[in-house]
Amino acid sequence: MMANQTIIMAALSTLSPPQLSDLTNSISAIFREHHRRQSYLLSSPTLFSLTLRHLRSLSLHHKSLLIARHLLYNLTLLKNSMQGAAAAATPLNSSAPMKLRDLDAVLLLLLLCELHQHDGQQLLETPPSQWRILLCNHVSRKILNLSGFGGFSSFEVLNEYVQIVAKCSNFVNVLGCGGELGKAGTSAAAAAAAVVALPSVEVSAGGECVICKDEIKEGREVCELPCGHYFHWMCILRWLRNKNTCPCCRYRLPTDDARREIDRIFEDLARIGGCFCT
């Protein structure tokens, strides 16, 4: 399977200069907010203690889900930039910004993973009560090696974005398990927001609804999926309660399942960027 980092780079290469500029500005604003929140988390012993306690209370699955939601939000930024305002008009709950408690938890989790990768032995040998100091020192060293976040160039912002997406993607792939993160081969309901946004069209020529096999008469109002296939409203609504795929061509609609949404968006980005998995 093609590396997700390669897919992101190929997708970025298709953006026009205005699209790339808008995306960079959006990422910069979000990164600044995340770094401010990270600084507040590390400078407040009380907030750090509460966040660490919350994080340690979560199961491995729920930690993976936090990372998956963070990854999904970042991927949605890129996809919306490629597709324009139409894609951003119907945001899904799974790709919405996190609540502060969850954002603090995922930022702390990513920092701990980063420190573990940099110096895992030190982290293991240090009691959790001293982790805040370790992380402060780690972040300070990291800032000294960079030009300072506020002074990042567009290239540095995009490079940081690609690294975060790759890191989160690897984390989700390694630690993802069951539940809302999805199980290979199982069906998922289409997201309510995606179903509500489906258009009603008048059929100009007769046809057949492949779900019920009954005739669709000329002039009847039916539901049209983004792939162009249309069905009786009652038929497709029942279908989409259990599946998010078109009955004809298997085009995938959005779901509220974070893992499946990540896979779906990566497939879309790979197609738009001209990448083909072998």
Domains and CATH numbers, the chain: 4-179+257-272 (no CATH), 192-240 (3.30.40.10)
Residue 48, pLDDT score: 96
pTM of the predicted model as reported, rounded to 2 decimal places: 0.75
3-state secondary structure the chain: CCCHHHHHHHHHHCCCHHHHHHHHHHHHHHHHHHHHHHHHHHHCHHHHHHHHHHHHHCCHHHHHHHHHHHHHHHHHHHHHHHHCHHHHCCCCHHHCCCCHHHHHHHHHHHHHHHHHHHHHHHHHHCCHHHHHHHHHHHHHHHHHCCCCHHHCCHHHHHHHHHHHHHHHHHHHHHHCCCHHHCCCCCCCCECHHHHHCCCEEECCCCEECCCCCCEECCCCEEEECCCCCEECHHHHHHHHCCCCECCCCCCECCECCHHHHHHHHHHHHHHHCCCCCC
- The stretch 32-48 carries a mean pLDDT of 93
Average confidence score pLDDT of the chain: 83
Of all residues in the chain, what percent carry a pLDDT higher than 70?
A: 84
Of the listed ranges 17-21, 37-41, 184-188, 250-254, the least confidently predicted one is 184-188
